[in-house]
Structure 1
Amino acid sequence: MTARFYKLTELHEKLDEAVRREINRRAPDQFKVMALKRRKLRVRDLLARLTPTGRQGIPNT
């Protein structure tokens, strides 16, 4: 595992947690949720490009 892959994996987890926190707020900001999900998807796509088979080991979230 490369350092870049590791950092992207950490970022993906942090974004996932941020999405969960925002959704569980009393009045979630849907625009913020969408922006976080968009960033998370970009990170997931980068991770997929770094894996030899494209999408190995990345859950569909």
Structure 2
Amino acid sequence: MAFDAHLEALKRKHLAVSDAVEEAQRAPGIDDLKVATMKKEKLRLKEEIVRLTA
């Protein structure tokens, strides 16, 4: 059960970061470095999800 909860938490965090990236990209004057950092975090989360489900 703890594994499933961890996986769901990762998926929720991935979705939240994805939404934050989209919102930041629509905002005028957003720092490109901040967006890049968020994208890297999103990718890290996706890779972890894939690794756990493989």
TM-score, normalised with respect to structure 1: 0.80
Q: Which runs of 5+ in 2 are unaligned?
A: none
Find the counterpart in structure 1 of residue 50 from structure 2. 48
**1:30 and 2:32 are equivalent in the alignment:** yes
Aligned length: 52
User: What percent identity do the matched residue pairs reach?
Assistant: 29
Q: CA RMSD in A?
A: 1.2
Counterpart position of 2:17: 15
Distance across 1 between alignment mates of 2:24 and 2:31: 7
Match of 2:4 among 2, 14, 19: 2
Could you say which structure has the greater relative contact order, defined with CA pairs below 8 angstroms and 6 or more residues apart?
2
> Counting helix residues as a fraction of each chain, which structure ranks higher?
2
Task: Please list every run of at least 4 consecutive aligned residues from structure 1 whose deviation after the TM superposition is greater than 3 angstroms.
Answer: none
Deviation at residue 27 of structure 1 after TM alignment: 1.0
**Structure 1 residue 26, shift from structure 2 partner:** 1.1
